[in-house]
Every structure is written in structure tokens, then in C-alpha cells.
Amino acid sequence: MLELHWAENLDDERTAAVRTLLTAARGVDGKPEVDPDGPLPGEFSGGRYLLGTVAGDLVGVAHVDVSGDAFGRQVAELVVHPEHRRRGHGAALTEALLAEYPRNLRVWAHGDQPGAARLAQHHGLLRSRELLIMHVDTAGADWPEPTPPEGVTLRTFRPGSDEQAVIDVNARAFDWHPEQGALTVDDLAATEREDWFDADGFFLAERAGTVIGFHWTKVHPPNPAKFGGKAAGEVYVVGVDPDTQGGGLGRALTVAGLHHLAERGLSQVILYVEGDNAPAVAVYRRLGFTPYEVDVQYATADPG
């Protein structure tokens, strides 16, 4: 029988159990990005954990980021071990999660699976956000050379010097975004210590010595359940100061990053874009990107 209990500040044993479960899920689902020997991924760090066990073995976990997104909404992730699915554990975790957080909650469903949609509908959760994953093969891609607007130059990021300038642009460019808009200098500095961070793949646009845009690229290690098991580059974040939009700067920054990723020998590049951001989707389609899958965020039906 499934037993459920809440926990905070996981000890080493529980952390290892959660990591093992997430690693098993990644092998089937392609997510989350978890290092079998490293810390828990960011979306499963801190906050509160709802642990589901059977005979002492962890078979499911829900994590709640109680600090909330940029708009103060709690955000949850829910994963059931692949060997224990279709036994009602996901429904039980969801019911307990909503009993604890009946309002102001958002729950991610990665891959837009029919089972997740049925579960959300059963519990009255509303489809509130779609995050579209797009990808392109670099072989044969005919991208133009990056051509920034007149008076704008491109260069790469300088750690220890450019953090505040990037965060200033980021705050203006993503004041509407529930996650990206909350990025801080400390967050950026912490990311620079991650193994994947590469300043040579972080492009900045300057006008008269002021940073007005950036394209931050990322490289993902081979994933057994995604993209043919090969490493993939990512158009991680493209941010342009709203006062300079419309002159082709975003496209120039994007193309600069795409050339960089292709030159690294990566055969494919992915990106995440809000599904309702039609102008951005159109730009990426013109660069050869096509939809790959969709992540969905379901929301409690709060009044107002």
C-alpha cells in the first residue's frame, strides 16, 4: 500500500532515493536533467517534498517550490518511478498535493501526456501554460552570418564583470516571465560554477558600451530518451532590451549562438518558447526549427 508523507531538508538517504527515482524517470521520459552522482536538479531542490513509498521503497515524489515563481505562485513537479506507474500512485500524490496546496498552485506535466491531462481534468486543474520545445538539425542548416543593427557590436561574456549588465537587460526583457524574470546576479554567478557553463557560448550585444541584449547557449549531455541519445545544444535564453526590439538584434544574437553550437560539432539544437508567443515561434521556424514536444503547466482554478 502506498504511504505518503511530507518532508523538508532531506537527509542523505532520502536525497539518494529521490535522485535514484529521478534518474530512472530520465531514462524513460528524458527528464529531469539529473546527474546520478550529483545534487538534485534545481526544480527538485529546497522547498517541500511529498514522498510516496511502498514497503519502504520510494515510488513517487512531488516537489513544491514554496518560494514561488516571479508572481508568487507555488510550482510543483510530480514524478512516479517508471516501474510503478499505472497503479494509481500519481493520482494519490496529486490528491495529497492539492489537499495541502488547494490554491495558487501550478503543476508541470512534461511531454503533454494523455494520462496527465486526464489526471488534471479529474482534479479540476486548468491548462494554463504551454512551453513548446523546438529543435533543428545543424547538418545542412543555412543560417546567415549574424548582422547586428548599425552601431551594435557582439562579444562574449566576461565572468566577474558582466553579471549586473546582463541581469538589468534580463529584468526588462522578461518582466512578464514567471521564472526568467526573477533571475538575480547571485543566480547567474551560481550558474557560472556549473559544469556546463561556457562563457564562449554567451553572447552579448553592446551599443556605446552598454549591454542591450544577450544570447546564452547551453550544451546538454547525451540523453538516452531524447534526440537519438545524442548531445544537444540549446538556445537557452535570448534577451533583448525592449527599447531596442524590432531592429533584428534578437535574430543576430540567435544566429551567432547557432553558429557557435554547430561549430562545437553538435548535430542538433533545441529551444524552449512559450507556445502563445507567435512572433518568436515564427522567427524560430524561419531559422529551421520545428516543434518537438510540449510541456504543460496546470493550475488550480483560483477565484479571480
Is 80 annotated as belonging to a binding site? Answer: yes
Is 234 annotated as belonging to a binding site? Answer: yes
Is 269 annotated as belonging to a binding site? Answer: no
CB-based burial label for 33 (10 Å; 0-12, 13-18, 19+)? middle
Grid cell listed for 132: 513548446
Q: Which residue has the cell 492539492?
A: 98
> CB under 8 Å to 28, separation ≥6 — which residues?
82, 225
Is 246 annotated as belonging to a binding site? Answer: yes
* β-strand pairing of 152-156 with 202-207: antiparallel
Is 79 annotated as belonging to a binding site? Answer: yes
Is 18 annotated as belonging to a binding site? Answer: no
* β-strand pairing of 290-299 with 105-109: antiparallel
Closest-CA residue to 157 (of 213, 236, 231, 240): 213
Contact 229, 238 (CB under 8 A): no
Is 61 annotated as belonging to a binding site? Answer: no
DSSP assignment of 272-294, as one string? Answer: EEETT-HHHHHHHHHTT-EEEEE
DSSP assignment of 144-206, as one string? Answer: PPP-PPTTEEEEE--TTTSHHHHHHHHHHHTTT-TTGGG--HHHHHHHHTSTT--GGGEEEEE
Is 245 annotated as belonging to a binding site? Answer: yes
Is 3 annotated as belonging to a binding site? Answer: no
Is 265 annotated as belonging to a binding site? Answer: no
d(CA 10, CA 49): 8
d(CA 105, CA 110): 16
Is 249 annotated as belonging to a binding site? Answer: yes
Contact 296, 109 (CB under 8 A): yes
Is 74 annotated as belonging to a binding site? Answer: no
Q: Which residues sit in the known binding site for acetyl-CoA?
A: 78-80, 238-240, 245-251
Q: Which residues sit in the known binding site?
A: 78-80, 179, 218, 234, 238-240, 245-251, 272
